[in-house]
Amino acid sequence: MTLAIGVDIGGTKIAAGLVSDSGEILESEEEPTPDASTEIPALVADLVGRLVGDQQIAGVGIGAAGFVGEDRATVRFAPNIDWRDEPLAEQVRSLIELPVVVENDANAAAWGEFRFGAGEDTDDLLLVTIGTGVGGGIVHQGQLFRGGFGAAAEIGHMRLVPNGILCGCGQRGCFEQYASGRALVRDARERVANGDERADALAALADGDEGRITGPAITQLAQDGDPLALDLLAEVGRWIGEGIAVLTSVLDPSVIAIGGGVADAGDLMLDSVIEAFEIHLPARAHRPEASVRLAALGNEAGLIGAADLARQESD
C-alpha cells in the first residue's frame, strides 16, 4: 500500500490526512488557520510531521483556494489568504523533505471524486461545488484539466445574467451570485426584511437577528417541510441547473457531480437542478445526456484528491 498525505487549507482551518491508495483516510489532524499567512507553511509541516511517524510516504498534496500556477507549486493569488505568487511547495518542502504538490482546492476535490467517489464510473467528470461561492473542477479523458496557466474551471465567475448582481470579482451577473449558499441566504433575508407572508418560520428563526438565517438553518427548515425554505432551495437549484447546462455545451461531461455545503440538502435541491438542466440543455433530444448526481466524498474530497495527486506525481 502506497501512502500519501493530503492537506486542505481553508479560511478557518487546515486539515491533513494520511490517505491510502484506495482513498481511505487512515489518520487525520487539523488546526485553525493562522491569521498570519507567513505561519501557514510551518503549520502544514507540523501537521504532516504528526502523520508521518516512521511510515514511508510517497508525497504531500496541498489543496488551496485560489489560482495555482502551472508549476503546481506556486499560489498566484488566494482570495482569503494574503498570498501573491507564494512559493508554497518550496516553503513546505524545505521543512519536511518530502515531495510536495500544490493544487487548487476544487481541482483536488474533482480529482478525489473522479478517483474514489461520484466519478468512479467515468473518464469525463465536471464537479460543481456549491458553498458560500461556486467552484468547479474538470476531469477530461481521465486527466485533470488545468488549462494553459493552471487557472481553469473558475466556473463561479461565468456570467449568466447581463448587468446582474454585482460580484466580488468586479463583474455583474456571475453564476455564484445566483447559485450559491450566499445567494440562498441573501434571498431568505430579503424575504424576511420585506415582510413576505410566507416567511414566518424564517422570521422566527431570526428573532430580530438576520445573522441567524444561515444556509444550514434554511436547509433544516426545508427538511421540516417549510414551503418558503423549499422554494428558496429550489430556486438555487434551478440556477445551478441552468449553469451546468451552459457548461455542458462547452465540456460535454458524462457525469456532473454536485458537492459543497448547499448540496447537503440532497434531493430537496437536486430535483430542481436536474429539471432545469434538462430544460436548458441545447438539443437535448439529439445527444447523450450527462448523469447529474450528488458528490460522494463530502468535505474530504479535496484532501483525498490532493493526496492522490501527490502519489501520482511520485510514480
Domains in the chain, number: 2
pLDDT of residue 314: 75
Q: Find the domain containing 256 and state its range.
A: 122-295
Residue 214 has pLDDT above 90, yes or no: yes
pLDDT of residue 263: 77
Alpha-carbon distances of 294 from 115, 255, 272, rounded to whole Å = 15, 10, 13
Beta carbons of 239 and 179 less than 8 angstroms apart: yes
pLDDT of residue 206: 87
Name, in order, each residue with C-beta under 8 angstroms of 133's C-beta and a sequence gap of 6 or more: 156, 176, 180, 182
Residue 143 has pLDDT above 90, yes or no: yes
Does residue 193 lie within any of the structural domains?
yes
Does residue 65 lie within any of the structural domains?
yes
Does residue 142 lie within any of the structural domains?
yes
Query: Residues 273, 189: one domain?
Result: yes
Query: Residues 151, 280: one domain?
Result: yes
Does residue 218 lie within any of the structural domains?
yes
Alpha-carbon distances of 28 from 4, 87, 100, 310, rounded to whole Å = 12, 25, 18, 17
Does residue 283 lie within any of the structural domains?
yes
- Buried b / exposed e across 95-130, counting CB within 10 Å, b at 16+? ebebbbbbbbbbbbbbbbbbbbbbbeebebbbbbbb
Share of the chain above pLDDT 70, in %: 100
Query: Residues 139, 257: one domain?
Result: yes
Q: What is the mean pLDDT of the segment spanning 66-85?
A: 90
Residue among 247, 63, 71 nearest 149 (CA): 71
Query: Residues 305, 276: one domain?
Result: no
Reported as a single tens digit per residue, the pLDDT across 287-314 is: 999 999 999 999 999 999 999 999 998 7
The CA-based diameter of the chain, rounded to the nearest angstrom, is 63
Query: Residues 127, 88: one domain?
Result: no
Residue 315 has pLDDT above 80, yes or no: no
Query: Residues 157, 273: one domain?
Result: yes
3-state secondary structure of 227: helix
pLDDT of residue 132: 84
Q: How far apart are the first and last CA of the chain?
A: 13
Beta carbons of 48 and 16 less than 8 angstroms apart: yes
CATH number of the domain where residue 238 is located: 3.30.420.40
Share of the chain above pLDDT 90, in %: 82
pLDDT of residue 260: 87
What span, in angstroms and rounded, lies between the C-alpha atoms of 117 and 257? 9
CB 193: neighbour CB atoms within 10 A?
12
Q: What is the mean pLDDT of the chain?
A: 93
Does residue 259 lie within any of the structural domains?
yes
Grid cell, residue 205, equals 428563526
pLDDT band at 12 (very low <50, low <70, confident <90, very high): confident
Residue 272 has pLDDT above 80, yes or no: yes
pLDDT band at 147 (very low <50, low <70, confident <90, very high): very high
Query: Residues 53, 27: one domain?
Result: yes
pLDDT of residue 155: 94
Query: Residues 38, 12: one domain?
Result: yes
Q: What is the mean pLDDT of the segment spanning 272-284?
A: 95
Query: Residues 25, 107: one domain?
Result: yes
Grid cell, residue 173, equals 451577473
Query: Residues 91, 235: one domain?
Result: no
Query: Residues 241, 197: one domain?
Result: yes
pLDDT of residue 131: 87
Does residue 117 lie within any of the structural domains?
no
For 306, the enclosing helix (H) or strand (E) is helix 301-314
Residue 84 has pLDDT above 90, yes or no: yes
Reported as a single tens digit per residue, the pLDDT across 98-129 is: 999 999 999 999 999 999 999 999 999 999 99
What span, in angstroms and rounded, lies between the C-alpha atoms of 16 and 25? 10
Does residue 116 lie within any of the structural domains?
no
Grid cell, residue 68, equals 495555482
Specify the length of the chain in residues: 315
3-state secondary structure of 212: helix
Per DSSP, 259 falls in state E
Query: Residues 132, 275: one domain?
Result: yes
